[in-house]
Structure formats: C-alpha cells, structure tokens
A = this chain, B = another copy of it.
Amino acid sequence: MKEYNASYKAYLFDLDGTIYRGSDAIPEAVDVVNRLYGKGIPYVFVTNNSTTPPRSVAEKLVKMGVPCREDQVLTTSMAAASYIKSEHTLPSAPTAYVIGEAGLKEAVESAGIVEKEDNPDYVVMGMDRELTYSKAATAAAAVQNGAVFISTNADKAMPSETGFIPGNGALTSIVALTTGVEPAFMGKPEPMMIDQARKLLGVPKDKLLLVGDNYETDITAGIRAGVSTLHVGTGVTPIHALSSKPALPTHAVATLSDWSL
C-alpha cells in the first residue's frame, strides 16, 4: 500500500539508516531523492554526524547516485556554529575551546568563531577519536570559568565493525560530570537543527516533511519542531515498535518504495 502526499513542498532526510546503511546506498531512498530532484522539490540532509564536513557528505551521496550539493547538508557541527553566532551579542568575535574533528573545526572557522583554550566564551564538544584526558580537563576548566557548554549531539554509542564505540554523548559526559553543568545539545532529538533547516528552505512547518529511521532521534526531533514526519523502517526503529511510542509519526512506511510523490 502506497502512502501519498503531494502537499509537502520540501523534504528533510536523515542519512544513516534512511539514505544508506554504512557504505551501502538504500536503492528506494536514492530513487525518492532523484524523483524530488526531477520535480524541483527542495530537500536538505540533516545529520547528527559532527566529524564529516558537508563537502565530504555531499561527495559520498553523489557517488551513491543521490543528487546533493554541499549547501544541502546540515550537520550538528554547522548547527553548533550557527547557534553560537545567533547567541553571541558582543561586538567582538565569539571565542570557543573546540574538541572535535574536521567537520567541527571547519564549521567553527567558517562561522568566524575564534578558537581559544584559555577563558573562552564557549566550549564546543563533538565526536573526537583523538580525545585525551588533557582536552577534557581543559574543557572542564573553561566551563568552570563560565564558558557556555555546547555539545553537537547526545548519541552515546556509535556502531562499528567491532561493536559499539564511544559516541559524543559519552565523551561529553566526562565534562558534564566533572563540572555538574549539562551542555546544550544541538543534534536530533533536539528540534534546533530542524528549525535551522526549515529556515534555510524557507517553507512553513506544515509544508515540510522530515524523513528518518530512528524514532528516538529523527522522528522525535520532527515532532518537537512541529513538522510532519515520515518514519521509514530501513534502519534503527522497526515499524512494529512505533505502536508503543508516546506520539506517532505523521506517516510510516516499510521502505521508501512505499512513498509516492
């Protein structure tokens, strides 16, 4: 049975579990994005990944046959940089102590935020496979000195070939437990990134559809942001698990081959 709704004027897509699984494209998803592209319906990819710059995300998608420009990718690192720019009201450039990889470092630099270890305005933490005790201690000192504490995303663990490896939510806990200060998280299930993407697309909430496979992050972020949601059963949350959830997605399909445009 095909679900159909022609009233959506723009789409947001999660990536892992929705468009691809690891390095394998999900053909039904590739097809849907190509049909949107053909019809001129705008779309943006929203990802909790903080390590990969949008240029690299777009390259990966294009290789899989998904039409994507760099400006159609919104990462939690970009959301963090945007948040700092919007919150910072002083005339001087905002300063931040940054723990993270290329995706976060580039997003911060592009936004004109100055990296600083000693007494910065902000501490921004993202996934960092080069995290050390020393970096965590420097971040904790800055937070104790009054820096605003921001973390790209709360995902505690990430799947890998050898099981789960520590995610940014687990890394962030070191600084949160040391200081007693909880960070502002940017990524899904927080609605901030969805709001930012909607403004980028310039559409009203009821004309925007968020597509994702993870109820706890994607669908919850969409519900909190007040946009319509399409749950797809190709990733983390199986369709049958939805009935026990506190709020249902607007639509649910087993795969995107069940979604008509």
A interface, CB within 8 angstroms of B: 128-134, 136-137, 140-141, 144-145, 156-157, 162-167, 169-171, 173-175, 177-179
Give 10 new A-B contacts, CB below 8 A, not counting A137-B166, A140-B166: A129-B134, A133-B171, A136-B170, A137-B165, A141-B162, A141-B165, A166-B174, A170-B174, A173-B173, A173-B177
Check B177–A136 contact: CB distance below 8 A: no
Partner of A133, one of B131, B156, B169: B131
Partner of A140, one of B164, B169, B179: B164
- The CA of A136 and the CA of B133, in the complex, are separated in Å by 11
Number of this chain's copies in the assembly equals 2
11 A–B contacts from the bound complex (CB under 8 Å): A129-B133, A129-B134, A132-B133, A136-B166, A137-B165, A144-B163, A145-B163, A157-B179, A164-B178, A165-B178, A166-B174
- The CA of A140 and the CA of B157, in the complex, are separated in Å by 10
Q: A128-B133, A140-B165, A165-B137 are in contact. Are A156 and B178 (CB under 8 A)?
A: yes
What's the nearest-Cβ distance from chain B to residue A100, in Å? 12
Give the nearest-CB partner of A145 in chain B. Answer: B163
- The CA of A128 and the CA of B177, in the complex, are separated in Å by 16
Check B162–A178 contact: CB distance below 8 A: no
Contacts of A171 in B (CB 8 A): 133, 174
Contacts of A170 in B (CB 8 A): 136, 173-175, 177-178
Give the nearest-CB partner of A167 in chain B. Answer: B178
- The CA of A259 and the CA of B260, in the complex, are separated in Å by 82
Give the nearest-CB partner of A166 in chain B. Answer: B178
- The CA of A156 and the CA of B177, in the complex, are separated in Å by 6
Contacts of A144 in B (CB 8 A): 163-164
What's the nearest-Cβ distance from chain B to residue A7, in Å? 41
- The CA of A164 and the CA of B178, in the complex, are separated in Å by 7
- The CA of A167 and the CA of B173, in the complex, are separated in Å by 12
What's the nearest-Cβ distance from chain B to residue A180, in Å? 8
- The CA of A175 and the CA of B174, in the complex, are separated in Å by 11
- The CA of A179 and the CA of B156, in the complex, are separated in Å by 9
